[in-house]
Structure 1
Amino acid sequence: MRIIQNIAVGFTVSFLGSLPLGFLNIVGLEVYAELGLESLVWYILGVIFIEAFVAYYTLIFANQLVQNKKLMKSIEIFGVFFLLLVAFIFYQKSSDTVHGESYLDSYLQWPVFGIGVFLSCLNFLQIPFWLAWNLYFLNGNYISIYKRLKFYYVGGTMVGVFFGMLFIIYFLDKIHKQIAFLTDYMIPVIIPVFFVFMAGFQGYKVHRKYFSNKIALDEKETD
């Protein structure tokens, strides 16, 4: 049961996390449009080759952080501001979105697997992304990393990234004439609102976990 749960949790968060119109998906769309499905598969494999290491090592690091309650409190509070920062970045970067064809031609001169590896290395945002989610899953006991179970979780995340990117790239290719419309609304509106909502939810959890109990104890001591 734990194996299935680890795979399902890893798959779900990585699949959904792969859907936003980030630069990895934009490059993947160009690869698919110019070189076809086989090249796209190799590109995505290059992306997840790096992401597998990031997901695994942030999972191990997260497990160590769980043991440090004071540090955990600081990280969870920081997570609220981090989510707000991500929302702001998506909103700001929406004005920098490039429209038009073949603006990534220089990348297509490389082996597509290498393109995926290189761009995934530049995707520094995946580090706090995986660290935050791994901490959340470990704190909530949604996953177990006992012995080999952690590999099922990481494997699930990689399968989720693969099919998530494949789905969104294929979908965007089919409606390529509407990409500008989607970009105008998804990046500056939908994604920032989502992260603001997540920040509010995280703030509520932090308050309930660290501050509401303290207030209750102080009231009892006063009585």
Structure 2
Amino acid sequence: MPVIIPLLFGFVFSFIGVIPPGLINITAAKVSMTDGKKRAFMFVLGALLVIFFQTYISVIFAHYINSHKEIDLILREIGLLIFVVLTIYFLKFAKPPQLQDKKIDVKSKRSRFFMGMFISAINVFPIPYYVLISLTLASNNSFIFTTIPIYSFVIGVVLGSFTVFYFYVMFFNKIGEKATFVLKNINTILGIITGIIAFFTCINVLKNYVHGG
């Protein structure tokens, strides 16, 4: 269980975080169309290497926060606010993703591996995302900050990210012609997920206040 559960959590939350059309997955698809799938997967490997370290750093930072309760509660409250805002945004204001509007220049013939590393490195969103996710899981006794669960979670994130990238590399043309059910309803799905996270985070914050009182 210390291996499987964190692995599954890492996979699911990375899948949710990466599946909306973004800089990395759309670039991977464009590289696939211009240079072929082999070079696209080299790009993906470079991106995954950075994602591995970003996730590991995020969980270690979350571990530090979790061990300093005065910081922990403040960040949980901030996280609650963020997830509530995201839930409202996804359910009420977010527009469906338009894949054809992503204009990314992939003409450069430099190593796609290092290109993947660079583009992944400038995308800093995963760090606060996985800090909040791991803190939320830990607060609900679904995750512990020990070596095996940490690496299992990180590997799960890498596997989930790879699954989404594979999907974009292999099936981007079909996505462009006709959106899949997931992409058509991605904002609703994300809104429900962030709403669930906000709900459990709220319960945890209230428990902390009740216990503190």
TM-score by length of 1: 0.76
CA-to-aligned-CA distance 1:180-199 (integer Å, 9 cap, x gap):
x997x557x53673466256
Alignment partner, residue 202 of structure 2: 204
8 Å CA contact 2:3, 2:152 repeated in 1:
yes
Amino acid at match of 1:33: M
Find the aligned partners of 1:21 and 1:95 in 2 and give their Cα distance.
10
Give the number of the structure whose alpha-carbon radius of gyration is greater: 1
Find the aligned partners of 1:115 and 1:86 in 2 and give their Cα distance.
30
Percentage identity across paired residues of the two chains = 22
User: Shift in Å at residue 124 of structure 1?
Assistant: 1.4
Asked if 1:99 is matched to 2:100, the reply is yes
Alignment partner, residue 156 of structure 1: 156
Q: What secondary structure is seen at the aligned counterpart in 1 of 2:178?
A: helix
Q: How does 1:141-220 map to 2 (within 5 A)?
A: 141-178=141-178, 189-190=187-188, 193-194=191-192, 197-198=195-196, 200-202=198-200, 204-211=202-209
Q: How many residues are paired up?
A: 212
Amino acid at match of 1:210: N
Alignment CA distance shift 1:111-1:144 (3 Å): same
Find the aligned partners of 1:193 and 1:149 in 2 and give their Cα distance.
27
User: Shift in Å at residue 139 of structure 1?
Assistant: 2.3
Gaps of 5+ in 1: 218-223
Alignment CA distance shift 1:160-1:75 (3 Å): same
Find the aligned partners of 1:87 and 1:145 in 2 and give their Cα distance.
27
Alignment CA distance shift 1:210-1:61 (3 Å): same
Find the aligned partners of 1:41 and 1:148 in 2 and give their Cα distance.
28
Amino acid at match of 1:75: L
CA-to-aligned-CA distance 1:103-130 (integer Å, 9 cap, x gap):
4234543321122111111111111111
User: Shift in Å at residue 78 of structure 1?
Assistant: 0.3
Alignment partner, residue 72 of structure 2: 72
User: Shift in Å at residue 14 of structure 1?
Assistant: 1.7
Alignment partner, residue 220 of structure 1: none
Asked if 1:48 is matched to 2:44, the reply is no
User: Shift in Å at residue 63 of structure 1?
Assistant: 1.0
8 Å CA contact 1:88, 1:192 repeated in 2:
no
Find the aligned partners of 1:165 and 1:61 in 2 and give their Cα distance.
26
Alignment CA distance shift 1:69-1:212 (3 Å): same
Find the aligned partners of 1:182 and 1:140 in 2 and give their Cα distance.
28
8 Å CA contact 1:77, 1:206 repeated in 2:
no
CA-to-aligned-CA distance 1:122-153 (integer Å, 9 cap, x gap):
11111111111111222233233423442232
8 Å CA contact 2:21, 2:97 repeated in 1:
no
Amino acid at match of 2:132: A
RMSD of aligned C-alpha atoms? 3.3
Alignment CA distance shift 1:119-1:60 (3 Å): same
Q: How does 1:120-131 map to 2 (within 5 A)?
A: 120-131=120-131
Find the aligned partners of 2:23 and 2:174 in 1 and give their Cα distance.
18
Find the aligned partners of 1:109 and 1:27 in 2 and give their Cα distance.
14
Q: What secondary structure is seen at the aligned counterpart in 1 of 2:20?
A: coil
